[in-house]
C-alpha cells in the first residue's frame, strides 16, 4: 500500500513528539506517494534516513536497501528488542501466517516501542460504517476489534485506533497506533486464534 499523506501523518504524530525514537523499522520496502506531499523523496528509507533515524526496512524483494527476510519465520536474535518504532503501512495483509508475523512485530520492539499500523479495513466494517463494500487488497482485511483485543491481550497502550483517516481505492484504512509497555512474551497461538475471528481471509488473495 505504501506511504501517503494519511499514514505518514500517523507516523509523524509519534516521531515528532517522542525524542527517544531513534531506531526505525519499516515493514516492506515502502514507496511514498509524494504527489500529495511537499517532499522530493520517493522511498521510505531515504526519507526517514534524511530525517536522522537509524532506518531499517524489511522486504522479501530486498530492494532499495531492504533486508530480505521471511516474516513467516521467527526473526534472528540480533533483531529482538532493537527498535523504537515499527511501521506496518500495508504489509501484513500480504503475509500468510498472521500469528508469526505479529509475534515478530512484538519481538522487534524495545520495551517502549511504538507500533503504527495502516491496513485495509475489513469489508463488513467498511459496509457498516461507510455503506460500501471493499475491493479486496492482499490476503487479509482487519477489523478494529482485532487491534483492540490484541492490545488488551499483549498489554499494549492504545494511542489511537480509527477508520476515518485515509481512503485508498474507496477502501477506508484500519489504523492502529499503540505502545509496548513491558518486555514480555507474545501471546500463545491458541489465544491469537481467537483474535483471528476479526480478520477476513481471502484464500486466493488479491494483487490490487
What domains can you pick out in the chain, each with its CATH number? Answer: 5-201 (3.40.50.150)
Q: What is the pLDDT of residue 116?
A: 98
pLDDT confidence of 182, banded at 50, 70, 90? confident
- The C-alpha torsion from 176 through 125 and 127 to 170, rounded to 10°, is 20
pLDDT confidence of 205, banded at 50, 70, 90? low
What are 149's three cell numbers? 483485543
> Quick check: pTM over 0.85?
yes
Q: How many CA atoms lie within 13 A of 204 on its CB side?
A: 0
Report the distance separating Cα 104 and Cα 122, nearest Å.
23
Amino acid at each position: 500500500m505504501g506511504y501517503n499523506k494519511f499514514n505518514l501523518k500517523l507516523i509523524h504524530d509519534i516521531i515528532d513528539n517522542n525524542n527517544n525514537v531513534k531506531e526505525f523499522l519499516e515493514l516492506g520496502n515502502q514507496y511514498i506517494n509524494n504527489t500529495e506531499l511537499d517532499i522530493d523523496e520517493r522511498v521510505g528509507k531515504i526519507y526517514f534516513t534524511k530525517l536522522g533515524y537509524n532506518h531499517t526496512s524489511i522486504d522479501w524483494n530486498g530492494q532499495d536497501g531492504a533486508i530480505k527476510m521471511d516474516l513467516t519465520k521467527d526473526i534472528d536474535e540480533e533483531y529482538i528488542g532493537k527498535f523504537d518504532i515499527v511501521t506496518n503501512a500495508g504489509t501484513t495483509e500480504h503475509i500468510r501466517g498472521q500469528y508469526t508475523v505479529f509475534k515478530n512485530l512484538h519481538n522487534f520492539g524495545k520495551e517502549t516501542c511504538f507500533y503504527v499500523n495502516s491496513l485495509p479495513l475489513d469489508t463488513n466494517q467498511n459496509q457498516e460504517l461507510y455503506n460500501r463494500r471493499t475491493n479486496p487488497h492482499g490476503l487479509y482485511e482487519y477489523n478494529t476489534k482485532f487491534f483492540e483485543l490484541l492490545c488488551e491481550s499483549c498489554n499494549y497502550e492504545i494511542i489511537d485506533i480509527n477508520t476515518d483517516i485515509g481512503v485508498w481505492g474507496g477502501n477506508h484504512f484500519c489504523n492502529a497506533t499503540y505502545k509496548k509497555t513491558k518486555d514480555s512474551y507474545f501471546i500463545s497461538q491458541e489465544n491469537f486464534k481467537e483474535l483471528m475471528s476479526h480478520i477476513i481471509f481471502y484464500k486466493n488473495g488479491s494483487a490490487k
